[in-house]
A and B are shown apart, each in its own frame.
Chain A
Amino acid sequence: MVTAHEVRAKYERWLLTLGGVVGVTSTDDKIIVLVMSQRDAVKIPRELDGFPVEVRVVGEVRFLP
């Protein structure tokens, strides 16, 4: 049985190459993609290998010196 964490690991590198993607994480039942703006959300697939993908707009992450 494949878990959401495994599916996330499989697609993580690819997701990070998409413009506007800030981060990737997962819970037991879903994959979460963090993006810069609402505009970037449309490029993200709704589902990966049967697991739902949730998109969260977080903005650009920077160091905070």
Chain B
Amino acid sequence: MRVELESARRKAERELMKLPFVHGIATTNDREAIVVFVESEEQAQMIPLEYAGFPVEVFVTGKIEALSLVAPLVKRTERFRPAPGGVSIGHYTITAGTLGSRVYDSRTGARLILSNNHVLAATNRGEPGDPILQPGPYDGGTMKDMIARLLRFVRLLPPPTYNRVDCAVAMPIMNAYLSDEILGIGVVNEENFNPEVGMTVFKSGRTTGVTSGKITYTNATVKVWYGGGRYYIFGDQIVTTFMARGGDSGSLLVDEDHRAVGLLFAGSSRVTVHNRIEYVCRELGVTFSRMKVRPPKIKKEYLIAAGAFIASTALTYYIARRWLR
């Protein structure tokens, strides 16, 4: 009997699910009936009372929508494939930071992972080709969780030099491992190079998820400590109200129109500090919009030189042939 009910349910799934107002099919354990989920009472009356020899019960559920990824049910410290922005990531020797966003290589158009130098390149200690794990080692990531290899980073320089960025990019080992989305924010395809004081901004990070804040300064010089009383100086930084904790480093800072504004990398118990995205894009050679990616230009001088070479060769050949005749 049970087998028959199962096959009736599968038949119902094939046929009844075609109706736009049917949202789901189930069976009951005790009453040997097929259950059909619909959105409203009116639609309930359009469902047959019996189907394939079994009674049909109608259940009005309202519209069922996919649970948003913002829901706290999502653990950002788990393994994601494809991995979106806002989840745990890290160089194999560090603890864990945040996968900022998918960006494009300005030269080749390749899709890359953007985060901080201190997340993807272990604060200058990393070398191109090093394994990048998702989740990061602190969250249980092992070599089996390698998602990418370090591609390039901007070196952090000790005082008195001012740094502008703490950033790095990694190349996914498989293109399909990287999502275009940022968890709870969506796809970012544009930059906003003009952060302004008072602007509302958002980020999606490993530890504190999606949080919002306000820009308080756009041109701050900040000392950032990293243990043992040592610090780096960062110039021309964006400072916001408190919006991140340890593990959120590498998060992308976006404005209300989902445009990239900054790259979160440091903070205290009262403020959070971000690199300007303009410097990040320029110094790493990356972009958020695919349209801007162009193949490398051939310099005009090279074209002229090549043309002159071909012309002179042809001329020499022509003259030689006439003289040697």
**Interface residues in chain A, defined as those with a beta carbon under 8 Å from any beta carbon in chain B:** 5, 12-13, 16, 21-27, 32, 34, 57-65
Q: Once the chains bind, are B249 and A64 in contact (CB under 8 Å)?
A: yes
* Cβ contacts A to B, 28 pairs, < 8 Å: A5-B219, A13-B160, A16-B233, A23-B221, A23-B239, A27-B197, A34-B222, A34-B239, A58-B271, A59-B270, A59-B271, A60-B225, A61-B223, A61-B224, A61-B266, A61-B268, A62-B225, A63-B116, A63-B118, A63-B166, A64-B245, A64-B246, A64-B247, A64-B266, A65-B94, A65-B116, A65-B118, A65-B246
B220 CB-CB contact with A under 8 Å: yes
- Min Cβ gap A21→B in Å is 7
B269 CB-CB contact with A under 8 Å: yes
Range class of the B interface residue count: 35 or more
Q: Once the chains bind, are B221 and A24 in contact (CB under 8 Å)?
A: yes
Q: Once the chains bind, are A65 and B247 in contact (CB under 8 Å)?
A: yes
**Interface residues in chain B, defined as those with a beta carbon under 8 Å from any beta carbon in chain A:** 90, 94-97, 116, 118-119, 123, 160, 166, 197, 217, 219-226, 233, 237, 239, 244-249, 264-271, 273
- Report chain A residues within 8 Å CB of B94: 65
Given contacts A12-B221, A25-B219, contact A65 B267 (CB under 8 A): no
- Min Cβ gap B246→A in Å is 5
- Report chain A residues within 8 Å CB of B248: 64
- Report chain A residues within 8 Å CB of B269: 59
Which A residue sits closest to B205, measured CB to CB? A64
- Report chain A residues within 8 Å CB of B123: 63
- Min Cβ gap A1→B in Å is 19
- Report chain B residues within 8 Å CB of A58: 268, 270-271
Top-9 shortest CB links A-B: A59-B268, A25-B220, A23-B222, A64-B249, A25-B217, A59-B269, A58-B271, A61-B268, A24-B221
